[in-house]
Amino acid sequence: MAHWLGECRGAWCLLAFFLLWIGAPQSAAEPIIHATPWHGRQPSAPHNAPAGIPIWRMITLGAHTGVEAYRDALDAAGVKVGVSADEIVGRPAFAYATMTLGVELAIVSVAELGLEAEASAQSEIYARAKRIGLELCPAEVGPRLRLDYRDQPLGEALDVAMEPVATYSGEPTILALVNFGSGLALIGSNGRSDAMVPRTRRFVFALPARGRLEARRDIEPVIP
């Protein structure tokens, strides 16, 4: 399987059991990182989760102080970082926590949000997720989760639902965690609000802060 050095701005497709990043530049093969399982404790009960959405895992932000600490940690872990991903983690709009903060995360596909079209605009996906009680992730979730999620299955790709950050050229970009066989990687993905996203694509969303859902009365159930 050929490997990449950059990122694409296109859609995901299913090909021979693997999701390929469409339009990614090709490069010479690189060795696979043999990741170790993540041993963090999962919450015992989904305190914050909207109905039908389980908590996937909890991560802690603020452990690394800024972009250079994350770059060093990612490099030490053997994680590949794409060009646009590396750009946005260093932009002023990419915020880092100034104190430790626990964030509970959930994974949902576009289809699991109840959107039935073969592809939906990213703005529509975000709006639907917010209606059922999910939240966009703080930007720091991307690099922090990449460091924690060492046992990502081969062929899996997860977009981080976040406010897009512009690259130096002005392209709105979000982060994605991928494992396409050449090792774990953190790459950029199209963050435009009108970007059309296939219903099979999966996003990482944040769950509301503990207790916030009690005040909501308009949360709709997730449609399988």
Q: How confident is the model at residue 65, as a pLDDT? A: 83
Count of C-beta atoms within a 10 Å radius of residue 122: 24
* Domains detected in the chain: 51-209 (3.10.100)
Is 213 or 195 the better-scoring residue by pLDDT? 195
Query: Residue 60 pLDDT > 90, yes or no?
Result: yes
Q: How confident is the model at residue 27, as a pLDDT? A: 29
The three-class DSSP label of residue 62 is coil
User: Can you list the alpha helix ranges (DSSP code H) found in the chain?
Assistant: 67-76, 83-89, 122-131, 141-148
pLDDT digits over 130-176, tens only?
999 999 999 999 999 999 999 999 999 999 999 999 999 999 999 99
Is 120 or 40 the better-scoring residue by pLDDT? 120
pLDDT confidence tier of residue 205, bands split at 50, 70 and 90: very high
Contact (Cβ atoms closer than 8 angstroms) between residue 113 and residue 122:
no
pTM exceeds 0.85: no
Contact (Cβ atoms closer than 8 angstroms) between residue 25 and residue 5:
yes
